């Protein structure tokens, strides 16, 4: 038993140091990744549940790692949140998304709002509103074409400053969604005061929707809340027709998920929108 215990410990220590080494390696490489142009954006449609027509595109960041290939944000966002690189990288995401919107418009593509994710640290950063204003000026895009998604947890963390930042973005005409709704703890009083426009129902409540009465009750409750606060609701992670049907029945007007489309490269978006328009 003692030997086994020791082996377990050794195994654990080795695994830990492998994870730590990987973290260290990624962190080092992340420092130059922006300058080396290793980041890229994908775009995932958010569709109307009735017509399945794209109403918005969520902007999703990817890191083209020279050895590891495409690395997803769950692996590197926590690292750059911690070391502060989220601020310049996040700014690049907003700017690049707006530039993409301009390029699509010039190519005659139907204008669809782009929803950019903002993490807690970006949202707290003092220069955010200024930097967004500069990007809007530089690219000349209509602020109504830009939306931000902020997680419920990030929103609820910072009371007063949050409200101020949200109000300024709202004044500029940028719409805001509460991301991953239902996974954090919202104060209903705050929800009412925040100038937000959409709630995104977290994938956790959609995954087992067909079989879980509990998840159906949660979705019904979120829909009732969205209704009384006059917010639009978007369901995340919709993968099959049964989920879509239930969401429709609960009055959810928008959905996103593999049932409709995976996150797409920029050059695939015009084709998708043209197909929807019957071109
Ligand atoms: P999120 O905001 O909840 O984004 C939705 C995630 O669900 C995306 O993962 C998307 O690819 C995935 N997804 C969409 N439909 C389905 C589906 O039907 N089934 C399943 N299983 N998954 C689906 P992704 O792209 O890996 O992004 C993960 C998280 O990283 C995002 O979660 C968001 O919080 C964060 N993130 C992504 N891009 C950015 C960014 O530019 N800035 C910041 N701050 N965070 C970002
Ligand atoms: Ca999101
Ligand atoms: Ca989400
Ligand atoms: Ca989520």
pLDDT tens across 119-153, in order?
999 988 889 999 999 999 999 999 999 999 999 88
Of 69-73, 82-86, 148-152, 183-187, give the lowest mean pLDDT range. Answer: 183-187
Return the best residue to mutate from 76, 96, 182, 236 for the ligand 1 pocket (most ligand atoms within 8 A of CB). 236
Quick check: 83 pLDDT over 90? yes
CA distance 46 to 174: 17
Work out the average pLDDT over 199-222: 97
- Which residues are near ligand 4, the ion (C-beta closer than 5 Å)? 180, 202
Computed over every residue of the chain, the mean pLDDT equals: 93
Residue 6's pLDDT band, with cuts at 50, 70 and 90, is low
CA distance 111 to 145: 8
Work out the average pLDDT over 58-73: 96
CB crowding 13-30: b at 16 or more within 10 Å, else e: eeeeeeeeeeeeebeebb
- How many whole angstroms from 202 Cα to the centroid of ligand 2? 9
Terminal CA-CA length for the chain: 70
Residue 182 Cβ contacting ligand 1 at under 6 Å: no
> If you take atom 7 of ligand 1, which residue's CA is the nearest one?
237
CA distance 261 to 279: 19
Q: Which of 271, 236, 270, 274 is CA-nearest to residue 58? A: 236
| Higher pLDDT among residues 5 and 277, named by residue | 277
Residue pair 44/267 in contact by the 8 Å Cβ criterion: no
Work out the average pLDDT over 86-110: 97
Quick check: 8 pLDDT over 80? no
- How many whole angstroms from 119 Cα to the centroid of ligand 1? 12
pTM of this structure = 0.94
Residue 30's pLDDT band, with cuts at 50, 70 and 90, is very high
Q: Give the atom of ligand 1 at the shortest distance from the alpha carbon of 258.
A: 18
Q: Which two tokens stand for residue 93?
A: 């995401």
Residue pair 223/206 in contact by the 8 Å Cβ criterion: no
Radius of gyration of the chain (CA): 20
What 29-34 contacts at long range (C-beta under 8 Å, 24+ apart), as own/partner pairs, is 29/65, 30/63, 30/76, 30/79, 30/80, 30/83, 30/85, 31/85, 33/63, 33/89, 34/85, 34/88, 34/89, 34/92
Q: Which two tokens stand for residue 134?
A: 């500069």
Ligand (nearest to CA of 93): 1
Contacts of 252 (CB under 8 A, 6+ apart): 49, 201, 219, 223, 233, 234, 235
Looking at residue 174, its pLDDT comes to: 97
- How many whole angstroms from 190 Cα to the centroid of ligand 2? 20
Work out the average pLDDT over 175-192: 87
Looking at residue 269, its pLDDT comes to: 98
Task: Give burial (CB, 10 Å; 0-12/13-18/19+) of 124.
Answer: middle
- How many whole angstroms from 116 Cα to the centroid of ligand 3? 11
């Amino acid at each position: 038993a003692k030997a086994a215990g020791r082996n377990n410990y050794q195994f654990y220590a080795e695994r830990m140091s492998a994870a730590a080494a990987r973290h260290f390696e990624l962190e080092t490489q992340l420092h130059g990744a922006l300058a080396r142009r290793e980041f890229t954006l994908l775009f995932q449609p958010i569709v109307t549940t009735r017509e399945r027509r794209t109403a918005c595109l969520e902007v999703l960041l990817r890191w083209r790692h020279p050895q590891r290939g495409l690395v997803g944000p769950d692996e590197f966002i926590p690292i750059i949140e911690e070391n502060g690189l989220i601020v310049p990288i996040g700014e690049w995401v907003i700017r690049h998304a707006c530039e993409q919107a301009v390029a699509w418009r010039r190519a005659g593509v139907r204008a669809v709002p782009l929803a950019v994710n903002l993490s807690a640290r970006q949202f707290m950063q003092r220069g955010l509103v200024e930097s967004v204003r500069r990007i809007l000026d530089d690219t000349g895009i209509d602020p109504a074409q830009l939306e931000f998604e902020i997680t419920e947890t990030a929103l609820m963390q910072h009371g007063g400053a949050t409200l101020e930042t949200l109000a300024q973005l709202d004044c500029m005409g940028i719409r805001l969604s509460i991301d991953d709704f239902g996974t954090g703890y919202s104060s209903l009083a705050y929800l009412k005061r925040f100038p937000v426009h959409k709630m995104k129902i977290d994938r956790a409540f959609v995954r087992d929707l067909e079989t879980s009465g509990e998840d159906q009750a949660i979705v019904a409750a979120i829909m009732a809340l969205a209704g009384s606060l006059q917010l639009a609701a978007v369901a995340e992670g919709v993968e099959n027709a049964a989920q879509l049907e239930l969401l429709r029945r609960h009055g959810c007007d928008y959905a996103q998920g593999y049932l409709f489309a995976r996150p797409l490269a920029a050059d695939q978006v015009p084709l998708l929108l043209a197909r929807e328009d019957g071109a």
